[in-house]
Amino acid sequence: MDIIINSLYSNKDIFLRELISNASDALDKIRFLALTDKEVLGEGDTAKLEIQIKLDKEKKIISICDRGIGMTKEDLIKNLGTIAKSGTSAFVEKMQTGGDLNLIGQFGVGFYSVYLVADYVEVISKHNDDKQHVWESKADGSFAISEDTWNEPLGRGTEIKLHLRDEAKEYLEEDKLKDLVKKYSEFINFPIYLWATKEVDVEVPADEDESSEEEESSKFSLYPESSEEEETEEGEEKRPKTETVKETTTEWELLNDVKAVWLRNPKEVTEEQYSKFYHSLAKDFGDDKPMCWSHFTAEGDVEFKALLFVPPKAPHDLYESYYNSNKSNLKLYVRRVFISDEFDELLPKYLSLLKGIVDSDTLPLNVSREMLQQHSSLKTTKKKLIRKALDMIRKLAEEDPDEYSNKEKTDEEKSAIEGKKGQYAKFWNEFGKSVKLGIIEDATNRNRLAKLLRFESTKSEGKLASLDEYISRMKPGKDIFYITGSSKEQLEKSPFLERLTKKNYEVIFFTDPVDEYLMQYLMDYEDKKFQNVSKEGLKLGKDSKLKDLKESFKELTDWWKKALDSENVDSVKISNRLHDTPCVVVTSKYGWSANMEKIMQSQTL
């Protein structure tokens, strides 16, 4: 707890958006249950799906209340009482190695941010399956729970009361809270209300007595409206005199615009709004904008609206948990109702880099999640989403002036792409692995994905090149040459390159362990075959002398093979692949490359 508090201290503001986000999650959950059972919503105020914020300046309390799903006693213990949740240690570890605090919401420890501003917190909660309970804790590592017999019954939902620390008094200012909601929670899909003071004009009977009138107006009215007074004085009739004064009242003020961004016309949504929506969707409140997004409507047999984002950075665990998780980052809505964010039938694993939402008009509303998972429209939805996602990434590359392109750009196009320099390299650094995993996993889109592939090569001069670029400068022939290894520096010295470089062939460097797997799936591109230059079978055009050489060295090669024993080598051959180095060991055509053997060894050790 101390680590969390200390590491977040400069960022106290975040507590509000974390609580609002929890309230919104809880409201989503009850609305989802209500799809199949209207009764769960209850009646009157209890059925109001909204978030309410109230301030008590005297007692220095902020309270945030929702009529969401609520928590049973057990939930309170499990969800709020256990600081040793798995996310806690992951978060703490990340913070100690210089992680971004703005990402706290992604670790499932957002609730604890309340202790940035409060030294004592009460959580009053009522779940349909249990009585109302109060959880309370001072940031000292212990908590208490009791059945609530003294607060007003909530009906259902959760009220969180923060008893503010002295140094957090600024959060008792309404304007401060309004700003925070605007900044971080504008796109929450439930209305957020603040119990706010408001000045209103009130007509009060004017006093005939001059002196007392002055007294009155100086007391209540900031701007006495003198013109009205004159008018009545001029009038003949003696109607009762009134005057307008300002009075303060309190009422619920709506702080956000609940029209969902994805339902709006893309032409009417600004870049900034997309950015902000991304931040709240991804719980990523860093300063960076998403790299790109795609907002579209699918029509026809299967109808849905979708908004997909490529985040500015890969999340901390994108590849760590890749093979054993099915984590989807798409939120599924059916006709504006949130259904699930753990619905993994919408995108293949390799696109779990994307964040976004899909709002289906085709899926049925009142069936269970399991039944939705089998629905026939999902296949088409998935196919369309993949297509759009890959298009979006392709565009990111096409708009980047640093990228290779056959197309000459007009001046107008050039100015439109101002500021997009280097954006694809950035994408590649963060998410290149996803593209590679896609090539491995998605045979249907393999070629599309191969277009997105970037690498360094013997001719790329420290920059990233694409396969199209490789082909554009390749000599007539059918092979794309590559070599695998653990680093570019190591590969540059490889004897396998000698002859190829001499003959001006380009060779791709693949230095990521995943590349070995990649090249087992990527056999060809645009009719060209891939050829690993460290393997047997490299052909560099006809060499008439080779046959004679083979003949005259036959005695040596035969002796050599015998000396090495057939258990160690398959064959010993004369070849023209070298230039300076006298000999090399190559892998057989269908065997593992030396690099692959190294990778396999490091995995089994």
Assess 22 for contact with ligand ADP (CB under 6 A): yes
- Which CB sits closer to ligand ADP, 195 or 521? 195
- Which CB sits closer to ligand ADP, 29 or 289? 29
Structure tokens belonging to residue 470: 């490789």
The count of residues interacting with ligand ADP (CB under 6 A) is 17
**Shortest Cβ distance from residue 97 to ligand ADP (Å)?**
21
**Chosen from ligand ADP, Mg ion, none, partner binding at 109 (C-beta under 5 to 8 Å by type):** ligand ADP
- Which CB sits closer to ligand ADP, 70 or 438? 70
**Chosen from Mg ion, ligand ADP, none, partner binding at 513 (C-beta under 5 to 8 Å by type):** none
Assess 311 for contact with Mg ion (CB under 5 A): no
- Which CB sits closer to ligand ADP, 155 or 224? 155
Binding mask of the shown chain, residues 16 to 45, with x at each position contacting Mg ion by CB under 5 A: ------x-----------------------
Angle 558-563-569 (CA atoms, 0-180°, nearest 5)? 80
Using Cβ positions, the residue closest to Mg ion within the complex turns out to be 110
**Chosen from Mg ion, ligand ADP, none, partner binding at 28 (C-beta under 5 to 8 Å by type):** none
**Shortest Cβ distance from residue 25 to ligand ADP (Å)?**
6
Alpha-carbon Rg of the chain, whole angstroms? 33
Assess 401 for contact with ligand ADP (CB under 6 A): no
**Chosen from Mg ion, ligand ADP, none, partner binding at 68 (C-beta under 5 to 8 Å by type):** ligand ADP
Assess 69 for contact with ligand ADP (CB under 6 A): yes
Identified binder of ligand ADP from the candidate list 26, 90, 330, 372, rule CB under 6 A: 26
The candidate with the shortest Cα–Cα distance to 67, out of 52, 77, 56, is 52
**Shortest Cβ distance from residue 109 to ligand ADP (Å)?**
5
- Which CB sits closer to ligand ADP, 108 or 513? 108
**Shortest Cβ distance from residue 315 to ligand ADP (Å)?**
14
Assess 68 for contact with Mg ion (CB under 5 A): no
**284 within 8 A of 216, measured Cβ to Cβ:** no
- Which CB sits closer to ligand ADP, 99 or 108? 108
In the numeric block, the tokens 């008439």 are attached to 544
User: What is the bridge-based pairing of β-strands 507-510 and 479-484?
Assistant: parallel
The candidate with the shortest Cα–Cα distance to 599, out of 524, 542, 520, is 520
- Which CB sits closer to Mg ion, 18 or 456? 18
The amino acid that residue 296 corresponds to is F
Q: What's the number of CA atoms in the CB half-sphere (13 Å) around residue 579?
A: 13
- Which CB sits closer to ligand ADP, 69 or 302? 69
Residue 352: which residues within 8 A CB-CB, separation 6 or more?
318, 322, 327, 328, 329, 434
Assess 110 for contact with Mg ion (CB under 5 A): yes
The candidate with the shortest Cα–Cα distance to 24, out of 137, 186, 161, 253, is 186
Assess 79 for contact with ligand ADP (CB under 6 A): yes
- Which CB sits closer to ligand ADP, 34 or 202? 34
| Binding region for ligand ADP (CB under 6 A) out of 22-30, 171-179, 215-223, 309-317 | 22-30
| Binding region for Mg ion (CB under 5 A) out of 14-22, 40-48, 449-457, 459-467 | 14-22
Distances (CA, A) of 390 to 132, 292, 451: 49, 12, 10
- Which CB sits closer to ligand ADP, 61 or 417? 61
**30 within 8 A of 40, measured Cβ to Cβ:** yes
SS (H, E, C) 465-503: ECHHHHHHCCCCCCEEEEEECCCHHHHHCCHHHHHHHHC
The candidate with the shortest Cα–Cα distance to 579, out of 494, 503, 481, 499, is 499
Distances (CA, A) of 176 to 188, 200, 463: 18, 21, 47
In angstroms, rounded to a whole number, what is the distance separating the alpha carbons of residues 442 and 366? 32
**Shortest Cβ distance from residue 437 to Mg ion (Å)?**
29
**432 within 8 A of 454, measured Cβ to Cβ:** yes
**106 within 8 A of 164, measured Cβ to Cβ:** no
**Shortest Cβ distance from residue 349 to ligand ADP (Å)?**
22
**Shortest Cβ distance from residue 432 to Mg ion (Å)?**
31
| Binding region for ligand ADP (CB under 6 A) out of 104-112, 228-236, 334-342, 568-576 | 104-112
**540 within 8 A of 505, measured Cβ to Cβ:** yes
Binding mask of the shown chain, residues 108 to 147, with x at each position contacting ligand ADP by CB under 6 A: xxxx------------------------------------
In angstroms, rounded to a whole number, what is the distance separating the alpha carbons of residues 460 and 403? 12
Assess 158 for contact with ligand ADP (CB under 6 A): yes
Identified binder of ligand ADP from the candidate list 13, 15, 16, 18, rule CB under 6 A: 18
Bin 274: left if φ > 0, else alpha if -120 < ψ < 50, else beta: alpha
**Chosen from Mg ion, ligand ADP, none, partner binding at 62 (C-beta under 5 to 8 Å by type):** none
Q: Is 469 exposed, middle or buried (0-12, 13-18, 19+ CB in 10 A)?
A: buried
Residues 408-437 that bind ligand ADP (CB under 6 A): none
- Which CB sits closer to Mg ion, 84 or 605? 84
- Which CB sits closer to ligand ADP, 282 or 533? 282
- Which CB sits closer to ligand ADP, 70 or 356? 70
The candidate with the shortest Cα–Cα distance to 120, out of 162, 167, 87, 181, is 162
Element (H, E) at 201: strand 192-205
Interacting residues toward Mg ion by CB under 5 A: 22, 110
Interacting residues toward ligand ADP by CB under 6 A: 18, 22-23, 25-26, 66, 68-71, 79-80, 108-111, 158
